[in-house]
Amino acid sequence: MGELRLMKGNEVIAEAAIRCGCDAYFGYPITPQSEVMETLMANRPWEDTGMVVLQAESEIASIHMVYGAAGSGKRVMTSSSSPGISLMAEGISYMAGAELPCVIVNVQRGGPGLGTIQPSQADYNQATKGGGHGDYSLLVLAPASVQEMHDFVVLGFELAFKYRNPVMILADGVIGQLMEKVVLIDQRPRWTNEQIAEISGTWATTGKSKNRKKHVITSLEMDSFIMENNNLRLQAKYDQMKDEEVRFEAIECDDAEYIMVAFGSAARICQKTVQIARQKGVKVGLIRPITLLPFPEKIIAEYATKVKGFLSVEFNAGQMVNDIRLAVNGKTKVEYFGRMGGIVPTPDEVEAALEQKLIRG
Amino acid sequence: MSEVADRIKEIINPENLVYAKSPLLNDDIMHYCPGCSHGVVHRLIAEVIDEMGIQEQTIGVSPVGCAVFAYNYIDIDWQEAAHGRAPAVATGIKRVMPEKVVFTYQGDGDLAAIGTAETFHAVNRGENIVMIFINNAIYGMTGGQMAPTTLIGQVTATTPNGRNVDLNGYPLRITELLAQLPGAAYVTRQSVQNPAAVRKAKKAIRKAFEIQAMKKGTAFVEVVSTCSSGWKLNPVESNKWMEENMFPQYPLGDLKDGSRADAGLYSIKG
Ligand SMILES: Cc1ncc(C[n+]2csc(CCOP(=O)(O)OP(=O)(O)O)c2C)c(N)n1
Ligand code: SF4
Ligand SMILES: [Mg+2]
């Protein structure tokens, strides 16, 4: 068993990155996640593991530094918050197009625009529907605890390399700032050049030796037929993710008449709501998508024939609710409840909404 | 006639060989227009890498611009960067593989407009990379629009009446600005308008790569270049136009030759 510590969500991102053998972090300060880079810098991992930590001149530069380092076969990450992720959009699309692995953390704040530094989940659509241009998909993980902030950095790198695709950890300001106990993995070494050759030796730009062809990291293709094939290959990869990577948690759903769907810190509040409602005798369950992309649509479709309705609870104007509606496909009622602007609803508030929108409504 | 053929046969033999294409350049026909400087500079880079014996260590970063396909011609590993971001991509590569040789190859739109921030900050950090800057005073790839380096009065697709200061501001001498940065080790402006200039440019490129090996800071080589298609001139006229109009605005020569500054000059006192 690893080391047990009391830590802040953002600090844990940094700690997990160092411990899992991450090679480099590039980032630019933005609230509410600046502690990620601050923690990394304070830990001076370059002295122990050799991990590079560099403050870039912008999020645009950060993501393209990530691109360059990831193209070298290294395990690389960045973190930011909403406006910074918007700036990275082109780079993320390039990485998906060039099939480069990396981990991107978005500790969301409220928008639009400069918005607020208070927590939010308003970047759900940005994370799961694109954000950047072109037909690409990320793998999106939604942590609901400090422990998951840790675990998803480790898992994120595994998935990023399994699929050669950027992975996003879509957290929010609550989880970023929350202090909880966390079990840390033991320090793992960074990959050696030999390991990199084994894992990424068919594509990484580590210098063209005499016995192989040159490697070119690019998303460009002028021949439409080849480009369509490239797209088909990407789509096949995304289909494989749908088959193999869906993760969710179903809480008290077995006998449920109503199911709430919520991710991240909204799911923690809904867990409390489940208790309150059940004390009142209302059979309520909770589905917590852990992967927002691929979305756990099968489990929702299964329950759609069993329950009287779903309530999507989100810290936004109702984004995930559309994915629930697609999965439910008209078989039962789907409602939304949420708050915006950095307001985190109480469990009672959610319970009242459940009552009003689903049970009485 | 057969006498001439015999004579030619006599000439074509290994002892008389004075020039051969670099083995790092493949036989693909380049997509560049006749009279374009890009191809010449590609050749020089290939020759330098080959002569320095660093093919296996070198990673090139190609831009968005006419040179996006540089990776098709020079037989080394490449990464293709988003428009303007080559210095950031190169930073990422070099920081995780400091033992490798990394260079960017960028046009004026890429390096001096959309990517100005990445350019300045890479040089200001003194990244140990080489940056090759092809200044042809126009956006070649997108069909000849105004570049930051377009001259006053120069006609382009977006300055059909000539570049106008009131509307468009001044030609950007970004190389002069970069030479001021303490992270720069070597900053030079070259051209490739004739064989002598080509030889000089090659020497400058070689020096830039040598500086990287010595970890002295950023080595920056501007090449004042032609864009015959964008300028709507034939190759001979292009060279002439460049000499007459570009050289006075972008004078050739070294702007900095040394190494990045000593941190002590910039440190707090206590
Ligand atoms: C984000 C973005 N904006 C605009 C473009 C379109 N674009 C492609 S190349 C280019 C300008 C290229 O000019 P330059 O860098 O001078 O290179 P040249 O072709 O002249 O060598 C532009 C504007 C793009 N590809 N991406
Ligand atoms: S458009 Fe200009 S820069 Fe592009 S290949 Fe033609 S001459 Fe060269
Ligand atoms: Mg140009």
Q: Is residue B26 part of a domain?
A: no
Q: Is residue B14 part of a domain?
A: no
The residues near B25 (Cβ < 8 Å, ≥ 6 apart) are B42, B43, B46, B73, B74, B75
Residue B14 has a pLDDT of 85
In the numeric block, the tokens 């298609």 are attached to: B229
The residues near B20 (Cβ < 8 Å, ≥ 6 apart) are none
The beta-carbon contacts of B251-256 under 8 Å, at least 24 apart in sequence, are B251/B189, B252/B189, B252/B190, B252/B191, B252/B197, B252/B224, B253/B188, B253/B189, B254/B186, B254/B187, B254/B188, B254/B189, B255/B175, B255/B176, B255/B179, B255/B187, B255/B188, B255/B189, B256/B179, B256/B184, B256/B185, B256/B186, B256/B187, B256/B188
Instruction: Provide, for chain A, the percentages of residues in helix, strand and coil under a 3-state DSSP scheme, each rounded to the nearest 5.
Output: 45, 20, 35
Query: Smallest CA–CA separation between A212 and chain B, in Å?
Result: 10
> Mean per-residue pLDDT for B171-189?
98
- Residue B67 Cβ inside 6 Å of ligand 1? The answer reads yes
In whole angstroms, what is the distance from residue B36 CA to residue B233 CA?
Answer: 11
Q: How many residues comprise chain B?
A: 270
Cβ contact, residue pair A217, B78, below 8 Å: yes
Tokens of B121: 């900050």
CATH fold, domain A3-193, is: Rossmann fold (3.40.50)
Q: Does A68 contact chain B (CB < 8 Å)?
A: yes
Q: Does B116 contact chain A (CB < 8 Å)?
A: no
Out of A66, A214, A219, the one facing B78 most closely (by C-beta) is A214
In whole angstroms, what is the distance from residue A351 CA to residue A60 CA?
Answer: 42
Range of the domain at B106: 31-257
Residue A361 has a pLDDT of 75
Q: Residue A250 is inside which H or E element, if any? A: strand A248-251
Tens of pLDDT, residues A151-182: 999 999 999 999 999 999 999 989 999 999 99
Tens of pLDDT, residues A212-250: 999 999 999 999 999 999 999 999 999 999 999 999 999
Query: Smallest CA–CA separation between A144 and chain B, in Å?
Result: 31
Percent of chain A with pLDDT over 90: 97
Rg, C-alpha atoms of chain B: 20
pLDDT surpassing 60 at residue B1: no
Rg, C-alpha atoms of chain A: 21
Tens of pLDDT, residues B68-105: 999 999 999 999 999 999 999 999 999 999 999 999 99
Residues of B in contact with A49 (CB under 8 A): none
Low-confidence ranges of chain A (pLDDT < 50): none
Average pLDDT of every residue of chain B: 96
Residues paired with A116 in a beta bridge: A110
Separation of CA B102 and ligand 3 centre (Å) = 22
Tens of pLDDT, residues A44-60: 999 999 999 999 999 99
Residues of B in contact with A40 (CB under 8 A): none
Out of A94, A207, A218, the one facing B57 most closely (by C-beta) is A207
Residue B253 has a pLDDT of 98
In whole angstroms, what is the distance from residue A131 CA to residue A279 CA?
Answer: 41
In whole angstroms, what is the distance from residue A355 CA to residue A259 CA?
Answer: 12
Q: Is residue B266 part of a domain?
A: no
Q: Residue B31 is inside which H or E element, if any? A: none
Q: Is residue B3 part of a domain?
A: no
**Phi and psi, residue A107, nearest 5°:** -90, 95
pLDDT band at B241 (very low <50, low <70, confident <90, very high): very high
CATH code of the domain in which B82 resides: 3.40.50.970
- DSSP characters for B53-75? T-GGGEEEEE-SSGGGGGGGTBS
Q: Is residue B240 part of a domain?
A: yes
> The pTM is what?
0.97
Cβ contact, residue pair A68, B55, below 8 Å: no
Residue B12 has a pLDDT of 84
CATH fold, domain A248-359, is: Rossmann fold (3.40.50)
Residue A1 has a pLDDT of 66
Q: Does B213 contact chain A (CB < 8 Å)?
A: no
Question: Counting atoms of ligand 2 from 1, which one is nearest the CA of B144?
Answer: 1
Domain positions in chain A are 3-193, 248-359
The residues near B128 (Cβ < 8 Å, ≥ 6 apart) are B94, B98, B102, B212, B215, B216, B217, B218
Cβ contact, residue pair B88, A61, below 8 Å: yes
The total of structural domains in chain B comes to: 1
Site to probe by mutation for ligand 2, drawn from B29, B30, B36 as the one with most ligand atoms within 8 Å of Cβ, is B36
